[in-house]
Amino acid sequence: MLSEHLLAEMGRLAAQGDLPLHRQLYEALRRAVLDGKLGAGDRLPSSRDLAHDLDLSRNTVVAALGQLTVEGYLVSHVGSGTYVHEHVPQPGVRPRAGQAAPDARLSRRGEALAHQHRARDLEIQPFTPGVADFSAFPIALWQRLQNKHWRSAQPEMLDYNDSGGHGPLRRAVADYLRVFRSVRLDADQVLITSGTQQSLELCAHLLADNGDTVWLEDPAYWGAVKAFTATGLAIHPVPVDDEGMAPSAADEAHPPRLIYVTPSHQYPTGAVMSLARRQQLLACAARCQAWVLEDDYDSEFRFSGPPISSLEGLDTEGRVLYMGTFSKMLYPGLKLGYLVVPKALVAAFKGAHYDLNRPGQMPLQAALAEFIEMGHFASALRRARQTYAERRQKLVDALAPVLHSGQGRIHGAAQGLHLCLRLPACADDRALAQQAAQRGLTVRPLSAYCLQRQDLRGLAIGYGYAAPALIDRYGRQLAELVAQGLGRG
Amino acid sequence: MLSEHLLAEMGRLAAQGDLPLHRQLYEALRRAVLDGKLGAGDRLPSSRDLAHDLDLSRNTVVAALGQLTVEGYLVSHVGSGTYVHEHVPQPGVRPRAGQAAPDARLSRRGEALAHQHRARDLEIQPFTPGVADFSAFPIALWQRLQNKHWRSAQPEMLDYNDSGGHGPLRRAVADYLRVFRSVRLDADQVLITSGTQQSLELCAHLLADNGDTVWLEDPAYWGAVKAFTATGLAIHPVPVDDEGMAPSAADEAHPPRLIYVTPSHQYPTGAVMSLARRQQLLACAARCQAWVLEDDYDSEFRFSGPPISSLEGLDTEGRVLYMGTFSKMLYPGLKLGYLVVPKALVAAFKGAHYDLNRPGQMPLQAALAEFIEMGHFASALRRARQTYAERRQKLVDALAPVLHSGQGRIHGAAQGLHLCLRLPACADDRALAQQAAQRGLTVRPLSAYCLQRQDLRGLAIGYGYAAPALIDRYGRQLAELVAQGLGRG
């Protein structure tokens, strides 16, 4: 009996949530049609009869039938009644919810993105490279600043932002970069983005076409590989040595449209690009008419001496786009970073940033601006440098057996959140990383960052997250494991 | 005299900010080199002499010289002194900061993105289509919920999220969609994104390759045009009629990899896709082995009867990816939306979403989950429907002269935040929009949304943002302007 079926279904729906009666009836009837309880062409009882059988007001029934008629499930013939429409789907061909199409497949770039997908072992445990310790982030202060800006929020603070970011934040970033990073800029050149991935995609979309070549450091930062894969660029790997990216004449046979570099602290090797190399790279970019994307990765966390000046600050032709993030300094989920573009590109970048990304989170941007202006950023930076310098030293001490044996050496500058332990070319660094993983330690094999070259072996070991005592204990375990692994090799 | 120059420069730097002395000297020396005050190969005074001349401690001088040596500006020869390195850049070839490279140009897709760039007249004034009124958003409640989740924030709440979003929010979205939108899904199929743009880019990256065809409604939503342009897809326009997207056999000669539709309330025409057309579209997608991207735009704001069920709910083959946003219901800058993917695609989408976007903002996601669970979302929805229904009616009343003259008619369903006033084919809708702009009214010409077709004239008029009294007053002005414009035509 239809009415019994409908009543049962309505009862089930009522138990699920706060649906009005007419909506319950609508859903029950709709499902009856889709499940084949009511077939194409079937005549429905009159609204009067349905109201009586279901103990509903006639208005309720009329509302439900009306909606189903509007949607095309039912058709009403004046004087003759209401029928199930002949176009309703045939029952029996409906597979279970969420089942994938038989030909479910990703696109080629989708497969590449899924296949390259290597950065997700995010379970935080000792030595995951690139992870900062945000346990000391001053949450109470942060809440206070956020609340202040929420309380006084004008409507535009809740809207999208089309001016490249919150004005005071752009000015605060410009002041910081001018003084501490020797970047030459006006606040107008600063775009607030959701971080380095968004900055890279924006550059790739606006400055390169599908199939254009981008030079990447080899070994490379995975996030950049992903961003350039997604945006359709052809990746040409250029080897990194102790002075950073080292392009040869052979590389110039693959002229780049973009050159992506991490000159302050190359990820993952830790190399700092020398002044001579910086000048060579800029000259090479000029010859190739390429844009240089400077990811000033980890520059904040230099432990000895002031941070090394930016590539942008040396640029004589305005070819450098400079980017950084607040994720490492404050907390990753903040999702705020910055991109500095040459003046001639500001309008195009602002417009595309708005159109592609619809930036928002203005109360958060306002809180961050004030956090910087009040000096909290600078003092967090000082504390963080000290914290990470100590942790790095703890790790170096724990790794002493490997270092003293002459089998491993620490590569790159004393900077950042990780160090690169270089191992002999015969070492199986992937096997070592797997063995470490079995003991609950996340280290990354240097060979896994290599795009083309086969000569590098080592481990990227993060010291950012774990407390010193843990670094000491687990660092010794790691050293033992490496020594054993090399002994076997 | 070098020391006088350095003292002056250091004084200037000191006035700018809180730099330590060794950093002031470092900067002053560095600039002297870069500006040519110190040339390649020049010998510097000894650190003792510099310390004396500048009245600094010798440690300060040694720190600054050491840093410049590390960076390659200076070179130190034991027993002979410190010299400016021969590789330093030549002065005189340094243009002003931020000046663009002579060959500054955007890529072809960059030009396309900049050229199509039409959505930024965001100055909020009466009748901008698609803008909601978020002045009634309960900020105090929102702050309270945010504070609660910040206070109890575990470290993982400050980190990136690699599981597709905050669990309780994904469940709350699934419950909402299941009951109110007849979407069939498990919470595991829900990805929390930063909104529709990010959802679209993710679909385009994972499911289509560069050059693949995407069908778009003609006229079309600009945001989708941008997203597909950026991701390199070939846009094939399919005309929209009163029942939504109407593909013909000729269209199937351009078989799509993706079909993007706004079936609940086509943007901008307001057409609601009929049930028959929905089934045709799904059958067509099956023939072409295409994915359907259902942007359930404006479905929440249906004023008569319940919202029309989703296309996803009719899908018999799991070809539909369903997306929506919280921007219109809460506030745009929130930047939280959702994408529902078939089960077979969940792992690939979660992975790529993490790798490409590094999602964060977990305290905000937690606050939103609770906002929904506590019923605030449902009641905001009820209030908003009533508000917008009234405003729509006010606008319709104000436009009465145009409607009664038979020259204009309102097209599409009584739903959403805007209406589409269709005008005769001879009308110059761009001129009308310009005239309105001169009076401080933002309306958008229907022809500006058309990708290929030439036959549509009309105005998209938003009633979401302005208060009823303003809608009344400015609506009459608009009606007068349209009537005059048509009279002249």
pLDDT digits 0-9 by tens, A5-50: 888 888 888 877 667 888 889 888 888 887 778 888 888 988 889 9
Mean pLDDT of B245-265: 95
pLDDT band at A90 (very low <50, low <70, confident <90, very high): low
* pLDDT band, very low/low/confident/very high, at A94 (cuts 50, 70, 90): very low
Q: What is the tens place of the pLDDT at every residue in B113-160? A: 776 645 544 455 788 888 888 888 899 999 999 999 998 888 888 988
pLDDT computed for residue B95 by the predictor: 42
- Per-residue pLDDT at A155 exceeds 70: yes
Among B334, B352, B361, the residue with its CB nearest the CB of A333 is B361
Cβ-nearest to A275 among B85, B147, B334:
B85
3-state SS string for B247-267: CCHHHHCCCCCEEEECCCCCC
Asked if the Cβ–Cβ distance from B155 to A146 is below 8 Å, we say no
Nearest-angstrom CA–CA distance, B341 and B349 = 8
To the nearest whole number, what is the mean pLDDT of chain B? 87
**For residue A213, what is the DSSP state?**
E
pTM here?
Answer: 0.83
Average pLDDT over residues B315-339: 92
Residues of chain B with pLDDT > 90, as a percent, come to: 50
Chain B, 199 to 218: residues with Cβ < 8 Å from chain A are 201, 205-212
Question: For position B308, what pLDDT does the model report?
Answer: 72
Phi and psi at residue A215, in whole multiples of 5°? -85, 130
Compute the nearest-CA separation of B307 from chain A (Å).
9
Residue A117, pLDDT above cutoff 60 = no
- Assess whether pLDDT exceeds 60 at residue B203: yes
Among candidates B210, B222, B362 on the partner chain, residue whose Cβ is nearest the Cβ of A232: B210
Decide if pLDDT at A327 tops 90: no
Looking at residues B361-380, what average pLDDT do you find?
Answer: 93
Instruction: Answer whether A99 sits within 8 Å of B343, measured CB to CB.
Output: yes
Please give the interface size between A and B, counted as residue pairs whose CB atoms are below 8 Å apart: 359
Say if residue A278's pLDDT is above 90. Answer: yes
Sequence-distant (6+) residues with CB within 8 A of A392 are A303, A414, A419, A463
| Nearest CA distance, B487 vs chain A (angstrom) | 36
Residue B93 has pLDDT above 60, yes or no: no
Question: How does residue B36 score in pLDDT terms, banded at 50, 70 and 90?
Answer: confident
CA B361/CA B88 separation, integer angstroms? 44
Q: How far is CA A72 from CA A30, B271, B306, B415, in A?
A: 11, 14, 14, 18
Q: So what's the pLDDT on residue B478?
A: 95
Confidence (pLDDT) at B96: 42
Q: Quick one: B461 exposed, middle or buried, by C-beta within 10 A (0-12, 13-18, 19+)?
A: buried
Mean pLDDT within B226-248: 94
For residue B258, the cross-strand partners are B214, B291
User: Best of B93, B106, B124, B282 to disrupt the A interface by mutation (most A CBs within 10 Å)?
Assistant: B106
Strand boundaries in A66-189, DSSP class E? 74-77, 81-84
pLDDT digits (tens, 9 = 90+) for B8-33: 888 888 877 667 888 889 888 888 88
Residue A104: per-residue pLDDT = 58
A87 vs A450, more confident: A450
pLDDT of residue A122: 46
Instruction: Indicate if the pLDDT at residue B488 is higher than 80.
Output: no
pLDDT band at A459 (very low <50, low <70, confident <90, very high): very high
Cβ pair A129, A465 in contact under 8 A: no
Q: How far is the alpha carbon of A347 from chain B, nearest alpha carbon, in Å?
A: 9
The arrangement of strands across the sheet holding B291-295 comes to: B190-193, B337-340, B320-325, B291-295, B258-261, B213-218, B234-241, B244-245
d(CA B343, CA A455) in angstroms, rounded, equals 41
**A154 interfaces chain B, CB cutoff of 8 Å:** no
* SS3 track for chain B: CHHHHHHHHHHHHHHHCCCCHHHHHHHHHHHHHHCCCCCCCCECCCHHHHHHHHCCCHHHHHHHHHHHHHHCCEEEECCCEEEECCCCCCCCCCCCCCCCCCCCCCCHHHHHHHHCCCCCCCCCCCCCCCCCCCCCCCHHHHHHHHHHHHHCCCHHHHCCCCCCCCHHHHHHHHHHHHHHCCCCCCHHHEEEECCHHHHHHHHHHHHCCCCCEEEEEECCCHHHHHHHHHCCCEEEEEEEECCEECCCHHHHCCCCCEEEECCCCCCCCCCCCCHHHHHHHHHHHHHHCCEEEEECCCHHHECCCCCCCCCHHHCCCCCEEEEEECCCCCCHHHCCEEEECCHHHHHHHHHHHHHHHCCCCHHHHHHHHHHHHCCHHHHHHHHHHHHHHHHHHHHHHHCHHHHHCCCCEEECCCECCEEEEECCCCCCHHHHHHHHHHCCCCCEEHHHHCCCCCCCCEEEEECCCCCHHHHHHHHHHHHHHHHHHHHHC
pLDDT at B124: 58
Q: How far apart are CA A258 and CA A262, in angstroms?
A: 13
Q: Is A148 on the interface with B (CB under 8 A)?
A: no
pLDDT at B91 over 60: no
How far apart (Å, rounded) are the C-alpha atoms in residues A199 and A85? Answer: 52
pLDDT at B109: 85
**ipTM, two decimals:** 0.81
Contacts of B124 in chain A (CB under 8 A): 155-156, 159
pLDDT at A114: 75
Chain-chain contact of B113 with A63 (C-beta, under 8 angstroms): no
Summarize chain A as % helix, strand, coil (round to 5).
45, 15, 40
Phi, psi torsion values for B180, nearest 5 degrees: -90, -25
- Window A:384-423, CB contacts with B under 8 Å: none
A interface mutation test: which of B142, B205, B265, B365 has the most A CBs within 10 A? B205
What was the pLDDT predicted at B118? Answer: 54
Q: For chain A, what percent of residues have pLDDT higher than 90?
A: 49
Residues counted in chain B: 489
**pLDDT score of A91:** 54
Domains of chain B plus CATH, in order, are: 2-84 (1.10.10.10), 120-136+379-485 (3.90.1150.10), 140-374 (3.40.640.10)
pLDDT exceeds cutoff 90 at A130: no
pLDDT value for A124: 58
CA distance B307 to B301: 8
Q: Looking at residues A381-403, what average pLDDT do you find?
A: 92
Residue A102 has what pLDDT?
Answer: 43
- Give the confidence band of B305 by pLDDT, cuts at 50, 70, 90: low
- pLDDT above 70 covers what percent of chain A? 93
The band of B107, judged by pLDDT with boundaries at 50, 70 and 90, is: confident
> CA-CA distances (angstroms) from residue A203 to A34, A167, A216, A353, A363?
48, 22, 14, 10, 26
Least confident of B11-20, B37-46, B236-245, B257-266: B11-20
Query: For residue A123, what pLDDT band results from cuts at 50, 70 and 90?
Result: low
Question: Smallest Cα–Cα separation from B339: which of B219, B146, B170, B106?
Answer: B170
Q: What's the rounded Cα separation, in Å, for the pair B459 and B432?
A: 8
Does the pLDDT value for residue B324 go beyond 80?
yes
Tell me which residue of B329, B339, B258 sits closest to B295, measured CA to CA.
Answer: B339
B314 → closest Cβ in A19, A89, A143: A89
Q: Is the pLDDT of residue A121 over 60?
A: no
Contact A9, A27 (CB under 8 A): yes
Comparing alpha-carbon positions, the chain B residue that sits nearest to A157 is B333
CA angle at B329 for the pair B327 and B335, rounded to the nearest 5°: 20
Among A89-98, A190-199, A318-327, which is the least confidently predicted range?
A89-98
Minimum Cα–Cα distance from A365: chain B residue: B333
Is A279 at the interface with chain B, CB within 8 A? yes
Mean pLDDT, chain A, integer:
87
All residues of chain B having their beta carbon less than 8 Å from the beta carbon of residue A308 are 70-71
pLDDT at A286 over 50: yes
The rounded distance, in Å, linking the Cα atoms of B280 and A457 is 57
Per-residue pLDDT of A101-116, as tens digits, reads 545 578 888 887 776 6
The answer on pLDDT for B169 being more than 60 is: yes
Our CA dihedral for B229, B232, B233, B235, rounded to 10 degrees, sits at: 40
State the pLDDT at residue B452: 92
Give the closest of B89, B95, B227 to A318, CB-based.
B95
- Which chain A positions have a beta carbon within 8 Å of B360's beta carbon? 332-335
Answer yes or no: is pLDDT of A97 > 60: no
